[in-house]
Chain A
Amino acid sequence: MASVRIRNVAKRFDSVVVMQDIDLDVADGEFIVLVGASGCGKSTLLRMIAGLEAITAGDIEIGGRRVNDLEPRERDVAMVFQSYALYPHLDVRENMSFSLRLRKRPDSEIERMVGGTASTLALDALLDRRPRALSGGQRQRVAMGRAIVRHPQLFLFDEPLSNLDAKLRVAMRTEIRALHQRLHATSIYVTHDQVEAMTMADRMVVMNAGRIEQIGRPLDVYDHPETLYVAQFIGSPAINVWRGPVEQGTLRAAPGATLAIDANVPPGATVAAAFRPEHVEIDGTGTIAARVDVVETLGPETYVYLEAGGLPVCARVDRTQRLSPGDPVRLRIAPAAIHLFDQGGRRLAA
């Protein structure tokens, strides 16, 4: 197992700069998730760590060794591809033992390692099958088995669960997490799904348009987003955002939609105020008048979509609270729960 240091990394395709100022330290045994929307550069960064893309500038070190000029096979990393990339002409056993056979390991050792990994992943019955005879979930496990068998310094995952149906995705999420706890393998995991990021990561790296927005533990990032982008990207349903000028401690987003702010904001400046649905209280004494639009009952909780002063708001309520579309209600939002961001999306000191 090894640590990974990424210093000042940038990437250029022809004349287009797609990534810059990437700095990241991954500790030995840590499970890091790179999360962001499509095109933010997370897969490109992963491929640069693997050696499948050239590093335009900056340094990447794996286990203390600078790997910029090393071929993928010299870096001792294993990768699980989004499409699984199993060798179609080999069966499961040969797929998993491929890297070992390349290194001319003795047959007994190969047998042992493949057999062990196969039973960990419940692939024993499938060892003689070809990839085309496997289901999506089975292929995914074979792809993981192929990576695990090698006991590499570093595991790389490129959106491995994207092609699975929802239920399978949830099941595999837990399995990968459990495997990580057993193997303590340094892992870098790429996904566009913020739920996967939140549930699986030791630390998250939120990326946007080739830059890192924020790095931190999932709950820290959730509770203290440093940019508006992070606040909006993490959390489902999305965080509420109201924009407007602040006058004397009050944000005026629209007539009838005002918030009490307890921060030092230059008067007249326009800010974005973000507050999570779970921090919106619906009771009879709140300061904001609103009307119920849509009620979504999910089971354990209920989300109410309202309109206040013409602006949309989402609130999470207990399932005991019975509301119907059209009901007039009053909202209360504690100033302490409001995150403030300036015009450029940067956090304002509270």
Chain B
Amino acid sequence: MATPAATLRIPRPAATPPLSIVGGGRIGGVFLVLTVLAVLGPFAWILVASFKYQIAIYSGEWPFTPTLSNYAQVLFGRRSDFLGNVVNSLVVASASTALVLVVGTLAAYSLHRFRWPAWVSAGFLGWTLVFHMIPVMTLIGPWYVAFRELGLYDTRIALILTHVTINLPMTVWLMRAFFREIPPEIEEAALVDGCRPLEAFRRVTLPLVVPGLIAAGILAFIFSWNEFPIALNLTSRELATVPVAIALFAQQYEIQHAQMAAASIISTIPAVILMALGQRFIVRGLTLGAVK
């Protein structure tokens, strides 16, 4: 069937592809590039600044001599607890993520699979939704009082529990959405084959929602790592997390700008890693969760 191309005259195509609704093609490409630049630009500038000497930042020197001293000062400096902060953040984020995944997934499955009276399921889901909308600051006040009364002020437990609480709504809603995508016949087949409810869940359902677990886990970890107001007010210096440490930089009398840049960059590392690895899951989780 091959015809030499010379015998076919090829005029300019007349019809435009259907999805180029507003722009498409060239215009879309230009805006795409502009957008990527606008998003990455600030990061790039801060990244560069983190490798500059403080004086070089002030003078806007370009090109510049790079240095690792900012990172060294932030991480290993005598006056810096940043490494400790990182450890705190990792511990709290990991623990609260594990906990919220367990509690949230079980709850989501229970609501999805078992017939609860309307007031239970609607009540719980509605409750979580309402608290998801309220600024956390309103709860931190009573939390502060309660934790102090219980002697749990300035403990990792307090942070972990509160982080689980704020991530629970999203986890439950997200896992519910993923459970909904499983055809009920699969679980019914398992029950017919002889599985008890717990086994059916463990052996059949759970493996099928692993992408959901990954998405929810990533999001829970990130939000816990990023969390600021609770950590700011329920911990003191020793247990401070990374965001609190960054805030401390900004509140100094003489702000160490270069080091603040370096600290900021370090705090974005989990985000960059998870973005590179888990991009598919995150986008699916965000859009799936958003469509509720």
Q: Which residues of A are interface residues toward B (Cβ below 8 A)?
A: 10, 12, 17, 20, 51-57, 68-72, 209-210
Selected contact of A54 from candidates B3, B8, B13, B18, CB within 8 Å: B13
Contacting pair B14 A57 (CB below 8 A): no
7 smallest CB-CB distances across A and B, nearest first, come from A54-B13, A57-B8, A69-B14, A54-B15, A57-B9, A51-B15, A54-B14
B134 contacts the other chain (CB 8 A): no
State whether B14 touches A17 (Cβ < 8 A). Answer: no
- Kindly identify, within residues 1 to 56 of chain B, every residue whose CB is under 8 Å from any CB belonging to chain A: 1-3, 8-15, 18
Size class of B's contact patch? 10 to 19
Which residue of chain B has its CB nearest to the CB of A50? B15
Residues in A whose Cβ lies below 8 Å from that of B11: 55, 57, 68-69
Chain A contacts for B13, CB-based, 8 A: 54
Provide the bound-state CA to CA distance between A54 and B11, in Å.
Answer: 9
Q: How many A-B residue pairs have CB under 8 A?
A: 38
Could you tell me the distance between the alpha carbons of A71 and B17 in the complex, rounded to whole angstroms?
11
* Contacting pair A57 B1 (CB below 8 A): no
Complex Cα distance A51/B9, Å? 18
B186 to chain A, nearest CB (A): 27
Q: Report the separation of the CA atoms of residues A234 and B18 in the bound assembly, to the nearest whole angstrom.
A: 35
Q: Contacting A20 at CB < 8 Å: which of B3, B9, B18?
A: B3
- A6 CB to nearest chain B CB (Å): 15
Establish whether residues A72 and B15, one from each chain, have CB atoms under 8 Å apart when the complex forms.
yes
Q: Which A residues are in CB contact (< 8 Å) with B1?
A: 17, 20, 209-210
CB pair A52 B15 closer than 8 Å: yes
Please determine whether A12 and B14 come into contact, CB atoms closer than 8 angstroms.
no
Please give the distance in Å from A82's CB to the nearest CB on chain B.
15
> Apart from A52-B18, A55-B14, A71-B14, what are 9 other A-B pairs with CB-CB below 8 Å?
A10-B3, A12-B8, A17-B1, A17-B3, A57-B9, A57-B11, A69-B12, A72-B15, A209-B1
- Is there contact, CB below 8 Å, between B15 and A53? yes
Q: Secondary structure at chain A's binding surface: helix, strand, loop or mixed? A: loop
Chain A residues in 8 Å Cβ range of B12: 69
List chain B residues, Cβ under 8 A from A72: 15
Complex CA distance for A46 and B14, rounded to whole angstroms: 15
Contact of A12 among B10, B15, B18 (CB under 8 A): B10
Q: A56 touching B14 by the CB < 8 A rule?
A: no
5 contacts across the A-B interface (CB closer than 8 A): A17-B3, A17-B8, A54-B13, A56-B10, A68-B11
The residue that A17 contacts in the complex, of B2, B9, B15, with Cβ under 8 A, is B2
In angstroms, Cα B11 to Cα A10, docked, is 12
Of A52, A54, A56, most B-chain CB atoms within 10 Å: A54
> Which residues of the partner chain B approach A52 to less than 8 Å between Cβ atoms?
15, 18
Closest to B2 in A: A17
Chain A residues near B9 (CB, 8 Å)? Answer: 57
Indicate the member of B3, B8, B9, B13 with the most A CB atoms within 10 Å.
B8
Contacts of A54 in B (CB 8 A): 13-15
Closest to B13 in A: A54
Measured between C-beta atoms, what is the minimum distance from A226 to chain B in Å? Answer: 19
Q: Which residue of A lies closest to B18 (CB)?
A: A52
A68→B12 CA distance, assembly (Å) = 10
| Cβ contacts under 8 Å, B8 to chain A | 10, 12, 17, 20, 56-57
Determine how close the nearest CB of chain A comes to the CB of B21; give it in whole angstroms.
14
**Would you give the shortest CB distance from A346 to chain B, in whole angstroms?**
16
- Expressed in whole angstroms, the Cα–Cα distance for A70 and B13 within the complex equals 10
A280 to B139, CA, bound (A): 89
**A14–chain B nearest beta-carbon distance, Å:** 12
- Closest-CB distance, B18 to chain A (whole angstroms): 7
> How far, in angstroms, from A57 to B4 measured CA to CA in the complex?
13
With a cutoff of 8 Å between Cβ atoms, the chain A residues found around residue B2 in the complex are 17
State A56–B9 Cα separation when bound (angstroms).
7
Closest to A17 in B: B3
Chain B residues with CB under 8 Å of A20's CB are 1, 3, 8
